[in-house]
Structure 1
Amino acid sequence: MLNTTNPSLAGQRVVKELGTVRGIVVRSRSIIGNLGAGLQTIFGGDISLYTELCERARQDAYERMCAHAAALGANAIIGLRYDATEIGTGITEVLCYGTAVVVEPAL
C-alpha cells in the first residue's frame, strides 16, 4: 500500500477518493513492563521497553488502517497521520488515519 503524509503522491495521479480510513489500537502497560522501564530510568537514556511498546502499537494501527483501505479497494493512502491519547492511567489509544485513494501513474 503506497502512502504519504502529503496530500498527493509524487508520480501518481489520484483517480478516485474513497474516504477516511483508520486503524485504532488501545494498549496498556503491564506491571512487569513498568518495573523494567522503572529500572531503565535509573540509568537514563532510551527506555527501550516503552519504545518497543510504542513502535508495536503504531505498526498495529498502521496495518489496521491499511486493511481498512484495502477493503475499500484503495491502493494508496494520502494525508497519513498518527495520534495518541491517554484514555486512562497506563492505557493509551493509538490512531493511524488518512484518506484512502486509488492512484495510477501520472502520464
Structure 2
Amino acid sequence: MITSTTNHLDGKFVTDYIQLVSGQTIMGANVVRDFMAGITDMVGGRSGTYENKLNEGKEIAIREMQEEAAKLGADAVIGVDLDFETLRDGMMMIVATGTAVKISEHE
C-alpha cells in the first residue's frame, strides 16, 4: 500500500477520501536492561538500542494503520503523521495517523 506523508502522490489522482485511519503501539521497556545495553552501544550520544526500539514501534504503528486502510478498501494512505510519546514506567507510545484514499492513474 502506498503510504506518504504528503497529501499528493506524483502521477496519481485521489478519487475518494475514505476516512482517517490510525495505528498505535505501546511498548514496554525494561529500563535497567535497556539502560545497560544503551551504555554499551552509545557512540556520539546515540543509542542503537533505543533507535532500534523506536524503529520497531514505528513499523508496527504504520503496519496497523495500513491494515485498517486496506479493510476500508483504500489504495493508499496520505498525510501520514507519526507521534512519539513517553509514558510513565518506561513505556513508549507511537501513533501513526493518515487519510485512507482511493487513487487512480487518471483524473
What is the TM-score when the length of structure 1 is the normalising length? 0.90
User: Where do 5+ consecutive residues of structure 1 fail to align?
Assistant: none
Match of 1:55 in 2: 55
Letter in 1 for 2:12: Q
Structure 1: distance between partners of 2:89 and 2:10: 42
Match of 1:75 in 2: 75
Match of 2:38 in 1: 37
Letter in 2 for 1:4: S
For residue 89 of structure 1, report the CA deviation from its aligned partner.
Answer: 3.2
Per-residue CA distance 1:10-61 (angstroms, 9 max, x = gap): 11111111110001000121232221113334x5442111011000000010
What is the TM-score when the length of structure 2 is the normalising length? 0.90
User: Where do 5+ consecutive residues of structure 2 fail to align?
Assistant: none
Structure 2: distance between partners of 1:40 and 1:5: 31
For residue 8 of structure 1, report the CA deviation from its aligned partner.
Answer: 1.4
Match of 2:8 in 1: 8
Identical positions, percent: 25
Match of 1:94 in 2: 94
2:46 is paired with a residue whose SS is coil
Structure 2: distance between partners of 1:92 and 1:46: 18
Structure 2: distance between partners of 1:40 and 1:104: 46
Letter in 1 for 2:36: L
